[in-house]
A = this chain, B = another copy of it.
Amino acid sequence: MSDIMLAPEIEALIERGDREALRLELEGWHDADLAELIAGRPPTEAWSLLSVLPLDRQAEVFGHFEVPVQIDLARVIGRRQLALIVAHMSSDERADLFNRLSPEQQEALLPALAQAEREDIRRLASYGEGTAGAIMTSDYATLTPELSAREALDKLRREAPAKETIYQSYVVDQRRRLLGSVALEDLIMALPGTTVAELMDAEPVFARVDEDQEEVARKVARYDLIAIPVVDGGDMLVGIVTHDDAMDVAEEEVTEDFQKVGAVGRIEGGVREASLTTLYSKRAPWLVLLVFGNLLSGFGIAYYEETIATYLALVFFLPLLIASAGNAGSQAATLMVRALATGDVVLRDWGLFLGRELAVGLALGLTMALAISGIGLWRGGPDIAFVVAVTMVVVVIVGSVIGMSLPFLLSRLNLDPATASAPLVTSIADAAGVVVYFGFATAFLGLPAS
């Protein structure tokens, strides 16, 4: 396995300008490692490294870069050379890149490409971001049903170099409608005369071109596929999504869910590459928005100011009680956000989980009440201890139910359940906690006649 720590040796070769030795050294590296080595450098230096490789590897490695890196590099690579690299890239990565180029860069690039590539780019670039169409590749292998296994193998052998995978081929009719899929394994094990029609799975799992990419990745995982075919509205085969691209999509979607759960807007391409302005602009709106939630707690406190002035010891327990409501809510929300994302739980399960959450919340609340009743007695005496314990039971249940329900509610409104971030749930649970706490304290302890 290539080791990225070889870098000092590479540095020496770069300094000596020994391109031949560099080529020999880098040839044994994996594309992903090469991409990492090169991406961290200034564009001109990156290009001088990349250019020692043969063209097909240049295209492979280039395809591994994040799009911003590709765009920086595109500026220093000559137009003709860039066209060569782009022509050798896999069709999905090429379309991705094209979508992010400036109109001027697009105009400069297109004439240097062959007609077929231009059309392929235009077609793939036309699908909405986040859909199957936007992540699929056109480099798939097709067969027709009347071919024999031998003929099919001959065809695949010839076409393999230009295809993303030949381990799964797709059977289409003359109008390119998807009829089935065949595994290479079945083709090589079959008697040479068997037809593709006999060997194919006539009910393959497929995706629609406008299907959410998250759903596509989920199908690939669920059915253990090497690739999934993508069809348009007329059931015509238009592309495939391979297992490795599906895995990348799954990782991207998880990162997005994490950011949402942390109340951060979607940051493309990782925190490392993100500028300070991006980080600020993805965090500030949520923080400011949550101020209004927290003000509710403030107004709750203002409303009960007289109670607080009378029983100042109550303030000691305030952070504890509202934080416990928020924490229980965060727990419930994160569990539901993830379960809804994996499909373990669906919308109609809300009733079932409400019942369970009430039961678990009650048990948790009682535990917490027990845990703090000693401190309640010590700091506030029996009356305040009682108020604190009862409040604890109620706010843990309320927080849990809010946290559990919010992801369902968001999902019901066709919003992403992950928007039920820990901070959002905490803010809501805090406000509920303030009202329950001081409301119950006022009722139970009473106010001195004024």
Residues of A within 8 A of B (CB): 1-2, 28, 30-32, 153, 156-157, 160-161, 166-167, 184-185, 188-189, 203-206, 220-226, 243-244, 246-248, 250-251, 254-255, 257-259, 261-264, 267, 270-272, 276, 279-280, 283-284, 286-288, 290-291, 293-295, 297-299, 301-302, 305, 308-309, 312, 315-320, 322-324, 326-328, 330-331, 333-339, 342, 344-345, 349, 353, 356, 359-360, 363-364, 367-368, 371-372, 375, 379, 396, 421-423, 426-427, 430-431, 434
Q: Would A334 and B261 be within 8 Å (CB), given that A188-B157, A272-B345, A287-B324 are in contact?
A: yes
A243: nearest chain-B partner, CB-CB: B243
Which residues of the partner chain B approach A157 to less than 8 Å between Cβ atoms? 188-189
Nearest-neighbour CB distance to chain B for A200, whole angstroms, equals 13
For the residues of A in contact with B, the DSSP-based class is helix
A152 to chain B, nearest CB (A): 11
A280-B363, A320-B297 are contacts. A222–B32 as well, Cβ < 8 Å? yes
Across-interface contacts of A375 in B (CB, < 8 A): 295
Contact present for B184 and A331 (CB under 8 Å): no
Report chain B residues within 8 Å CB of A276: 356, 359-360, 363
23 contacts between A and B (CB under 8 A): A28-B203, A184-B188, A220-B247, A221-B251, A224-B244, A243-B247, A247-B250, A258-B335, A261-B422, A262-B422, A264-B335, A271-B335, A271-B345, A276-B359, A284-B364, A290-B324, A297-B323, A298-B316, A318-B319, A327-B423, A330-B422, A422-B426, A426-B426
Contact B270 A342 (CB under 8 A): yes
A262 x B312 contact (CB < 8 A): no
The 8 closest A-B pairs by CB, nearest first: A262-B334, A297-B319, A422-B422, A224-B244, A294-B320, A327-B423, A258-B338, A270-B344
This chain: how many copies in the complex?
Answer: 2
* Across-interface contacts of A317 in B (CB, < 8 A): 298
> In angstroms, how far is the closest chain B Cβ from the Cβ of A116?
23
CA distance A372 to B367 in the complex (A): 37
Nearest B-chain residue to A341, judged by Cβ: B258
